[in-house]
């Protein structure tokens, strides 16, 4: 019996998980195939017996781009309710509980499949990136349950067929060939950016040129935040939209990669040419060109990614050192997950540090195996902080540069934010624009709450509205940071909009006095004005870190309604719930 695995993902995480499930199926001796939902032949759907869906969510609970065509088909009103009566399915949702519409795409798909007669093999799995163990906390037990259910329902053995020969346990997705330059007949060109190829096949992907990269925080402030501006022709976006950017690994990380392998007697020539061709899985567009190993290490493999349980399993297969093999095996077991958490997740240990910690196993690696172990760099999303009405052909980003300490000696660095922070004038970025979560209504009163870099989408909306010669007296902006003189991002913009355009601007500088003042305290002080806005059909927009702020602000608005209307706690909570249901209280947060 064949098992089909379909994924939908904006950044590639769902694809990674789907391919891991496909490898599991192959290891169990089962016929299986895997593809993006949009690449699947929809005509085969009513003849399928088992499908496993791996689904991420974008925007306001929307399906990702490579699922939308498939989803539109399922939503056809003329589909019979018995269309999928022979289908057994499982859905694994990949989400982040800091977002209001957590795993909505998976939930909606589950509901629709049931309406069309399909039978749920196992309950919907809702993985959460916010969990200490990340998505693996749900993915691993969910998969164990699914294989057991398939075993019991269809009387199919789902025990892994593990052989003595390590190589037989490794399922390779691609054919990897190392070639000499002489055999290319001058067809190879050393391109600077390997993703340029995508631009010719997808007109949504653009190239931007850096025109300014300035620090918005004081030099002695603990955090480096950048306002990065770049120019690109023929771009189109609205306030509230986001962009995805492809970063590159740092020179330091690239050198460390090659040094680790050289120290373990694995000779990896950075200049060797690599050709990737299809074996079991469709080859990504970027890998269809001839590339040097250096280009792949710099721009395709994520040298900062945190290894997962599946990584440990593959290393276990090739390990020949008793101590290392035992430890790697422990990491793959259910009982070893706490140990894996303490080793990888708690200190944020990356793949290079794993290679360095297991030198004997690392010495058994080669380029082919690295293609199975390494994870591709995933694009990162940022809110757009500019308006095309003010700065034509420009996109501005407000980026907090991620750097922090763990128990490891080396500080942890955010891959994309640090890459962006080091860009200089005329450097290039590859990006694409996507609809964001916010839907701004300029004709209604608007209350914006944006502490820190959460201010970015509201800078976009306020500049855009001001460019229409609109007075901003029907807008309130609550901004929060630590110190007025150290991290008041885009201060000149907001003070200009307040003085010249009538913006109601209120700031909470939490560390400028003995007692801490946060945005919710300033909202409390301005409850009369806020209630006036809400009474006139106004909307609330909130953006920022998901930790405590969103709940504190929501609680303050409940108190505000209770105070201004003399209502009960329950009635005030229902009022705010109604705003949320009517899309009048919109939230965009991140962990």
* pLDDT tens-digit series, residues 123-156: 999 999 888 888 888 998 999 999 999 999 988 8
State residue 515's pLDDT score.
94
- Burial label, 82 (beta-carbon count in 10 A; 0-12, 13-18, 19+): exposed
d(CA 507, CA 505): 7
Going along 482-531, which residue ranges are E strands?
504-509
Identify any residues that bridge with 119 across adjacent strands, giving them in sequence order.
Answer: 88
Mean pLDDT score, 420-444: 94
Q: Is 387 annotated as a binding residue?
A: no
Quickly count: other Cβ atoms within 10 Å of residue 499's Cβ: 10
Q: Which residues contact 254 (CB under 8 A, 6 or more apart)?
A: 294, 297, 298, 303
Q: Is 343 annotated as a binding residue?
A: no
Give residue 181's pLDDT band: very low, low, confident or very high (50, 70, 90): low
Q: Is 56 annotated as a binding residue?
A: yes
Q: Is 378 annotated as a binding residue?
A: no
Summarize pLDDT for 24-42 with one digit per residue, the tens: 998 888 999 999 999 999 9
Q: Is 215 annotated as a binding residue?
A: no
Q: Are 488 and 481 in contact (CB under 8 A)?
A: yes
Q: Is 415 annotated as a binding residue?
A: yes
d(CA 585, CA 444): 13
Q: Is 372 annotated as a binding residue?
A: no
Q: Is 590 annotated as a binding residue?
A: yes
Q: Is 12 annotated as a binding residue?
A: yes
How many whole angstroms from its chain centre is CA 71?
21
d(CA 362, CA 368): 13
Q: Are 277 and 238 in contact (CB under 8 A)?
A: no
Summarize pLDDT for 497-538 with one digit per residue, the tens: 999 999 999 999 999 999 999 999 999 999 999 999 999 999
d(CA 226, CA 223): 10
Q: Are 199 and 206 in contact (CB under 8 A)?
A: yes
- Of 112, 135, 128, 150, the C-alpha closest to 24 is 150
Q: Is 57 annotated as a binding residue?
A: yes
| Res. 44: pLDDT tops 70 | yes
Q: Is 18 annotated as a binding residue?
A: no
Q: Is 98 annotated as a binding residue?
A: yes
Give residue 57's pLDDT band: very low, low, confident or very high (50, 70, 90): confident
| Res. 315: pLDDT tops 60 | yes
Give residue 13's pLDDT band: very low, low, confident or very high (50, 70, 90): confident
| Res. 202: pLDDT tops 90 | no
d(CA 44, CA 376): 30
| Res. 290: pLDDT tops 80 | yes
Q: Is 497 annotated as a binding residue?
A: no
Q: Is 508 annotated as a binding residue?
A: no
Q: Name the token pair of 473.
A: 């007296």
Give residue 222's pLDDT band: very low, low, confident or very high (50, 70, 90): very high
Percentage of residues in the chain having pLDDT higher than 90: 78
Q: Name the token pair of 376.
A: 């591709």
Domains of the chain: 2-154 (3.40.50.360), 250-375 (1.20.990.10), 446-589 (3.40.50.80)
**Mean pLDDT for the chain?**
92
- Burial label, 197 (beta-carbon count in 10 A; 0-12, 13-18, 19+): middle
State residue 204's pLDDT score.
86
State residue 99's pLDDT score.
75
d(CA 121, CA 53): 12
Give residue 493's pLDDT band: very low, low, confident or very high (50, 70, 90): very high
d(CA 25, CA 316): 18
Q: Is 302 annotated as a binding residue?
A: no
Q: Which residues contact 85 (CB under 8 A, 6 or more apart)?
A: 117, 118
Q: Is 36 annotated as a binding residue?
A: no
Q: Dump the DSSP string for 342-403.
A: IIIITTT--HHHHHHH-HHHHTT--HHHHHHHPPBPPPEEEEB---TTTSTTEEEEEEEPPE
Q: Is 10 annotated as a binding residue?
A: yes
Q: Is 59 annotated as a binding residue?
A: yes
Taking only Cα atoms into account, the Rg of the chain, rounded to an integer number of angstroms, comes to 26
What is the torsional sign of CA 560, 564, 569, 573?
negative
């Amino acid at each position: 019996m064949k098992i089909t695995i379909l994924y939908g993902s904006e950044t590639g995480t769902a694809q990674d998980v789907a391919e891991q499930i496909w490898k599991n199926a192959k290891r169990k001796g089962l016929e299986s195939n895997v593809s993006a939902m949009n690449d699947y032949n929809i005509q085969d759907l009513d003849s399928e017996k088992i499908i496993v869906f791996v689904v991420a969510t974008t925007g306001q609970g929307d399906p990702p781009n490579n699922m939308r065509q498939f989803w539109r088909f399922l939503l056809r009103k003329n589909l019979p309710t018995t269309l999928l009566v022979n289908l057994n399915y499982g859905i694994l949702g990949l989400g982040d509980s800091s977002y209001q519409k957590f795993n909505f795409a998976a939930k909606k798909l589950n509901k629709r499949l049931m309406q069309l007669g399909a039978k749920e093999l196992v309950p919907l799995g809702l993985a959460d990136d916010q969990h200490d163990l990340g998505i693996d906390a749900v993915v691993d037990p969910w998969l164990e349950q699914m294989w057991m259910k398939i075993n019991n329902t269809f009387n199919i053995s789902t025990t892994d067929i593990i052989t003595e020969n390590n190589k037989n346990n490794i399922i390779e997705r691609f054919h990897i060939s190392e070639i000499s330059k002489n055999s290319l007949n001058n067809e190879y060109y050393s391109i600077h950016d390997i993703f340029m190829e995508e631009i010719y096949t997808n007109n949504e992907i653009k190239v931007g040129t850096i025109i300014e990269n300035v620090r918005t925080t004081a030099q002695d402030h603990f955090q480096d935040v950048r306002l990065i501006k770049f120019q690109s022709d023929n771009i189109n976006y609205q306030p509230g939209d986001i962009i995805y950017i492809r970063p590159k690994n740092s020179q330091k990380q690239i050198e460390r990669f090659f040094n680790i392998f050289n120290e373990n007697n694995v000779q990896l020539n950075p200049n060797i040419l690599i050709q990737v061709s299809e074996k079991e899985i469709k080859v990504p567009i970027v890998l269809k060109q001839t590339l040097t190993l250096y280009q792949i290490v710099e721009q395709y493999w994520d040298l900062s990614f945190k290894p997962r349980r599946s990584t440990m399993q593959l290393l276990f297969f090739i390990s020949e050192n008793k101590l290392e093999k035992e430890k790697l095996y422990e990491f793959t077991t259910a009982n070893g997950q706490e140990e894996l958490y303490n080793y990888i997740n708690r200190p944020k240990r990356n793949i290079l540090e794993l290679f360095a910690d297991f030198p004997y196993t690392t010495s058994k690696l080669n380029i082919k195996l690295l293609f199975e172990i390494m994870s591709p760099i995933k694009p990162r999303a940022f809110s757009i902080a500019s308006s095309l009405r003010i700065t034509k052909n420009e996109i501005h980003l407000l980026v907090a540069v991620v750097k922090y300490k763990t128990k490891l000696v080396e500080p942890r660095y955010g891959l994309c934010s640090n890459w962006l922070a080091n860009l200089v004038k005329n450097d290039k970025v590859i990006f694409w624009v996507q609809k964001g979560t916010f839907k701004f209504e300029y004709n209604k009163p608007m209350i914006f709450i944006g502490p820190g870099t959460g201010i970015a989408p509201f800078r976009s909306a306020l500049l855009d509205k001001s460019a229409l010669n609109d007075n901003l007296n029907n807008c309130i902006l609550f901004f929060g940071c630590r110190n007025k003189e150290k991290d008041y991002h885009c201060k000149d913009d907001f003070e200009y909009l307040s003085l010249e355009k009538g913006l109601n601007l209120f700031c909470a500088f939490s560390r400028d006095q003995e007692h801490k003042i946060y945005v919710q305290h300033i909202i409390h002080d301005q409850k009369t004005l806020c209630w006036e806005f809400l009474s006139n059909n106004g909307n609330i927009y909130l953006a920022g870190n998901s930790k405590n702020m969103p709940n504190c602000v929501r609680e303050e608005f409940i108190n505000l309604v209770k105070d201004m209307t003399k209502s009960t706690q329950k009635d005030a909570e229902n009022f705010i719930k109604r705003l949320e249901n009517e899309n009048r209280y919109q939230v965009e947060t991140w962990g």
